[in-house]
Amino acid sequence: MKTMNKVFCAVLAMILALGMTGIATADTAWTAAAPNGAPALSLAMVMKDNPGAVTLVAADTIAAEFSKGESDFLIAPINAGAKLFKAGKSTYLLAAVVTWGNLVFASQKEGFKAEDMNGATITLFGENTINASIALYALEKNGITPDSVEYLGGAAETQSLLLTDADAIVMTAEPAVTAAKVKNENVTSIAVNDLYKQATGLDGFTQAGLFVKKATAEEKPEMTQEFLRLAKASCDACETDVTAVAEAAVALEILKNTKIAEAAIPNCNVRYAPATEVREQIETTAGIDLKQYGGELPADDFYYAANDATP
C-alpha cells in the first residue's frame, strides 16, 4: 500500500508540475509557420512556450504556405505576401512588421569601408529580389558605384566566398556574418541599414512581416489579438532579454550556437510594429522595387485593420 501511495504521489506531482510550467501548451487554438533562420527569431519565445504550435519551413517554400492557407499566422517577407495577395493567390493580411533588415556587406580587406566598393566587384545573393534591390539602392544613394555585381543563391553561399577569398566583397546577412567573424577575425562588415538610413533617414527597411489569414481575423478576432500580443512580447524580448531568446533559438534549432546567437540577435533588427502604424515605411521600401510587390503599392485591403490598437 505504501508503494502504491508513493507512486500515486509521484504521478500527481508530475501532473501538477506540467500544469504549472505550461509544458502542455502545444494544444493551442492557433497554428503558425515561419521560415527558419533570422525571421523565426520573432516567434522564438512563442515557440518556447507553445511546443509544436509553430512550424518552421524552408525559406524557399514560403510562397506555398501562403497558397495552402493552412496556418492562421505566417512570418514571411512582406513583398512576397503583397505580391501573392495582389495576384489573388493569398488571403493573408499584413498585421505587423517584425524584422527591419539583417543584411550586411562584408570583407576580409583590412580597414574595409563603404568606399572600398567603388569600382570593385561585389557579390550579392538573391538576384532579382527585394534584398538585392535594397542593397544596390543603398549603395547608389550613397554615391557608391561598383564595377560589377555578381550573384550567388543565398547568404550561406556568399558567406562561404567571404571566408575562402580574402579579396572578396560580399553581401551576406545575420547571423551568418557573426558566424563568419568567429571563424575568421579578419572579417569586418558594414550594415546595409546604416547606408539605408543615410539615404532615407529611416531606421531600417521593412523586411519580414507577421501575416494573419483573413478568415482567422474575421472569425476569431479575440484569438487573433491574443496571438499578436504573444508575438509582440516575443519580438520585444529580442531587445530586452537577448540571452533568453538566444537559449530558446538554440534549443529550437533556429540557431546553432548560443554565443553566436547572443552576438547576432541584436543585429537581426527584430522589432514589432503594427503595419498600419508604419505603412509609410512599408511603402518607402516597396517603392524601391515595385515589381517585387506586384507592380504597385499594397492597397488598403492588404492591411489587418484591427491593428489600429497596438496589442
> pLDDT per residue over 25-83, tens digit each?
344 689 999 998 889 999 999 999 999 999 999 888 988 999 999 999 999 999 999 99
**Which among 66, 72, 70, 73 has a CA at the least distance from the CA of 91?**
66
Considering the domain architecture, whether residues 53 and 82 belong to the same structural domain is answered as yes
Considering the domain architecture, whether residues 214 and 169 belong to the same structural domain is answered as no
Which residue range is the domain that position 182 belongs to?
103-200
Domain finish residue from 172, 200, 228: 200
- Please state the domain count of the chain: 2
**Which among 106, 73, 148, 97 has a CA at the least distance from the CA of 286?**
97
Please name the residues in contact with 92: beta carbons below 8 A apart, sequence gap of 6 or more.
66, 69, 74, 76, 81, 84, 85, 211, 212, 213, 214
Instruction: Name residue 256's amino acid.
Output: K
Considering the domain architecture, whether residues 96 and 123 belong to the same structural domain is answered as no
User: Residue written as cell 533570422?
Assistant: 38
Within-domain flag for 10: no
pLDDT for 153 beyond 80: yes
**Which among 191, 196, 194 has a CA at the least distance from the CA of 134?**
196
Considering the domain architecture, whether residues 92 and 134 belong to the same structural domain is answered as no
Within-domain flag for 252: yes
Supply the pTM of this predicted model.
0.88
Considering the domain architecture, whether residues 277 and 292 belong to the same structural domain is answered as yes
Within-domain flag for 6: no
Considering the domain architecture, whether residues 108 and 196 belong to the same structural domain is answered as yes
Domain finish residue from 200, 230, 263: 200
Considering the domain architecture, whether residues 215 and 275 belong to the same structural domain is answered as yes
Estimate to the nearest angstrom the gap between the alpha carbon of 193 and the chain centroid. 15
Considering the domain architecture, whether residues 80 and 229 belong to the same structural domain is answered as yes
Whether the CB-CB separation of 84 and 63 falls below 8 Å is answered with yes
Domain finish residue from 200, 231, 258: 200
Considering the domain architecture, whether residues 41 and 175 belong to the same structural domain is answered as no
Kindly report the CATH number assigned to the domain that includes residue 54.
3.40.190.10
Kindly report, residue by residue over 177-229, the tens digit of the pLDDT. Answer: 999 999 999 999 999 999 999 999 999 999 999 999 999 999 999 999 999 99
Considering the domain architecture, whether residues 143 and 193 belong to the same structural domain is answered as yes
- Measure Cα distances from 101 to 1, 98, 210, 288 in Å: 64, 10, 15, 14
Whether the CB-CB separation of 274 and 242 falls below 8 Å is answered with no
Considering the domain architecture, whether residues 190 and 234 belong to the same structural domain is answered as no
